[in-house]
Structure 1
Amino acid sequence: MFYYDYHVHTNFSLDSDAPMEDMIKKAIELNLKEIMFTDHVDYDYPDEDTDFFIDYDQYLLTFNEIKNKYSNKIDIKLGVEMGLQPHVAKDINDLIDKYDFDFIIGSTHAADKLDLYNGDFFKNKKQNEAYRRYFENVLENVSTLEDFDVCGHLDFIIRYGDFREKKLNYNDFSDIVDEILKTLIKKDKGLEINTSGIVYGFNQTHPQLPILKRYKELGGKILTIGSDAHSPDNICAYFDKAYAMAKQVGFNEITTFKNRKPNFIKI
């Protein structure tokens, strides 16, 4: 049995049509103990037609109603997937200070203020050059920003760019990836295993196994597992593989959060 899903989106995220209650019903069907809603907030997202912002006063009306309704069946927690960019640090801090989040995923959805999804970031870059520059942005984000708990979908850059083979070899980027992992560990930040890479046909989690293994070797302890589900059908998708990966590299515990404080449970 799986304990939780710590990366879930609802129709409060621009890229999901799933009502919060539908996600809860599926989580209860799967006998989850907890579910963490992590809808998108991305300040100054480079695509002007894409608005990744949430009115949390309105959000909490729905969230608290659902949380109370199902309180005897599942622990529903308030999280957010925050798009990290150094120049929006004040906006991030102001939002986090205003609301009582349990958990914050820090994700890099834009690099050099350019959109990954629409391809702008990849223009005039070779594949390895683009991937390295993306990791350099991630390193800057996790080094300079504080208001996050785990680094989200670390190597998801493979999803984007008009390249023939969408693959990334850890050994080609071990120097910069190791710096990211060391920075997370030094700052008591964690890493997530995000199973959406399998859902989307890339035959890997984010991060891939060698990166997860390296995180453990370097002393990483804080590990969450999330599906990045945008619909009920993908809640806990491929979590059997995620749990197996975690155990394979030596993790015996995964991390839960409440009021931004980590706790550890056996797997």
Structure 2
Amino acid sequence: MRADVHMHCGFSNDSETRPEDMVENAIAKGLSVICFTDHYDKDNLDWGDEAIFDVESYFQKMIELQEEYRDRIEIRIGAEIGMQPYLAEYYQNFMAQHPFDFVIGSVHSVLEHDVALDFFQKHSDPEGYKIYFEEMLQDVQKIKSYDVLGHLDYIVRYSNQGSKGFDLNDYMDIIEEILKQVIAHGKGIEMNMSGLKYGLGAPHPQPEIIKRYRELGGEIITVGADGHIPEHIAYDYHLADDILKSCGFKYYTEFKGRKPLFVKI
């Protein structure tokens, strides 16, 4: 596995890391490709300020890094957008104006509130899961300006019981509908290794979901560790190849200029 294509630095509201430190650590770990995907969560005000970065400053910095490290590692410029159903037109226009290499579409907020905060103080786990996946289905039906759907079962990380209280069979019908929409629109999913970092015992999404995505005809799958500090780059990457192979994949995907590149495992 040569590429970590989901990482954050100080341009994200939840990281204070210098991008140079992320690059240096990726080089030290032997990676040849990385993609910064800092948070652009339009209309997420739960953190006190809207969770978006200054796009011009972001591109300026990333281009400087590309030049500085051009002989040591390839740096691509991405974003992780926070999907909400009514933002489809906004993101379509936003992406048309900026030359990103790669865009992750993630659901961080449902009912216009961030699930990482007090969502599960207001909802039981089963109710919260149902709300989350129903809104995710609306997101992938309406929003087309992303490349892969990020950490599909992210919601489990913040629930009251965590993975112990999440029975995939209870939600597989709607998850399959989400996967079918992703495939029908030519999009992909990611295998986000941070589920292992958070002690859930599996990446996001669980291998059963990745396998079902492949069975339904899904071909595009990226891999990223979702690191916000250097130590988390390529987290548990020694497991990544075997997980993908066990789910029926012979390759993983990178993006450059919003075009998929398939790399043999």
TM bucket (normalised to shorter chain) is: over 0.9
> Which secondary structure state, in structure 2, belongs to the residue aligned with residue 117 of structure 1?
coil
Q: Give the structure 2 partner of residue 186 of structure 1.
A: 184
Report the Cα offset of residue 156 of structure 1: 1.0
Structure 1 length-normalised TM: 0.95
1:258 aligns with 2:256: yes
The equivalent of 2:58 in structure 1 is: 59
Aligned equivalents of 2:162 and 2:103: distance in 1? 34
- Separation in 1 of the partners of 2:173 and 2:225? 28
- Kindly state the Cα deviation for residue 75 of structure 1 after the two structures are TM-superposed: 0.9
Matching residue within 230, 233, 239 for 1:232: 230
Q: Which amino acid aligns with 1:39?
A: D
Identity %: 41
Residue 197 of structure 1 is matched in structure 2 by: 195
The match for 1:84 is 83
Alignment root-mean-square deviation, CA: 1.4
Question: Runs of 5+ in structure 2 lacking a partner?
Answer: none
Counterpart of 1:113 in structure 2 is: 112
- Structure 2 residue aligned with 1:32: 31
**Residue in 2 that maps onto 1:206:** 204
What secondary structure is seen at the aligned counterpart in 1 of 2:88? Answer: helix
Q: How does 1:69-148 map to 2 (within 5 A)?
A: 69-119=68-118, 121-148=119-146
Bigger mean CA deviation after superposition, 161-170 or 94-103: 161-170
Local SS of the residue matching 1:245: helix
Deviates more, 1:82-91 or 1:232-241: 82-91
What count of residue pairs does the alignment treat as equivalent? 265
Shift of 1:197: 1.1
Partner of 2:37: helix, strand, or coil? strand
Structure 1 spans left out of the alignment, 5+ residues:
none
User: Does the 8 A contact of 2:108 with 2:114 survive in 1?
Assistant: yes
Matches of 1:48 and 1:215, distance apart in 2 = 33
| Equivalent AA in structure 1 for residue 87 of structure 2 | V
Q: CA deviation at 1:104?
A: 0.3
Q: 1:20 maps to which residue?
A: 19
SS at match of 2:27: helix
Closer, same or farther in 2 for the Cα pair 1:109/1:257, shift >3 Å?
same
Alignment of 1:1-12 (within 5 A): 2-12=1-11
How far does the alpha carbon of each residue in 1:44-96 deviate from its partner, in whole angstroms, 9 at most, with x for none? 11416043111111112211111100011111001000000122223322321
